[in-house]
Amino acid sequence: MSGPDVQIPTVPGEACKLITIVMPDDGSDLQILKALRDNKNIIRADSTSCYASSALADKKTRPGKLPEPILARMVEVLVPHADADEIFRFVCDQTDPGQPEGAVVYQTDAPFCTPYELPEGVPDET
């Protein structure tokens, strides 16, 4: 049924930013997820395996070839637009992206996000 009489339910949502961290596969992804949950009450975050390769790596390769990729972790954090700069600084402080073999952190727009809350009693997975 359609027409002007039909009420279309609205989906609650907000403008967000997606903060992405590519970091070594050394367990530090779990530390950043725990820090985000404990210190900033962020629950919209995940960590996935990926391969990383740096064109600036200090390794010898054949001309025109990149170094072999290494196993890494990609952490994605979805935050409200208003909190994005604060959370981005927090993530940078936690991951220290300026160090060799350190993390790469960047932020992009996520035009629409649906907020949610975890029910009481959900155990901490980290």
Q: Which two tokens stand for residue 20?
A: 């992405």
**pTM exceeds cut of 0.85:** no
Instruction: Give 87-119 pLDDT, tens digit per residue.
Output: 999 999 988 777 777 788 999 998 778 777 777
What DSSP string describes 105-117? Answer: EEEEEEEEE----
Averaged confidence pLDDT in the chain: 83
Q: Which pLDDT score, from 0 to 100, does residue 7 have?
A: 67
Q: Which pLDDT score, from 0 to 100, does residue 111 have?
A: 78
Give yes or no for a contact between 113 and 11, defined as CB atoms under 8 angstroms apart: no
The domains of the chain are located at: 14-55+67-113
Q: Which pLDDT score, from 0 to 100, does residue 33 have?
A: 94
Q: Which two tokens stand for residue 34?
A: 């725990």
Instruction: Give 54-79 pLDDT, tens digit per residue.
Output: 655 566 777 877 777 889 999 999 99
Q: Mutual orientation of helices 84-95 and 28-40 as an angle, nearest 10°?
A: 140
Q: Out of 1.10.10.10, 3.30.365.10, 3.30.70.120, 3.40.50.300, select the CATH number for domain 14-55+67-113.
A: 3.30.70.120
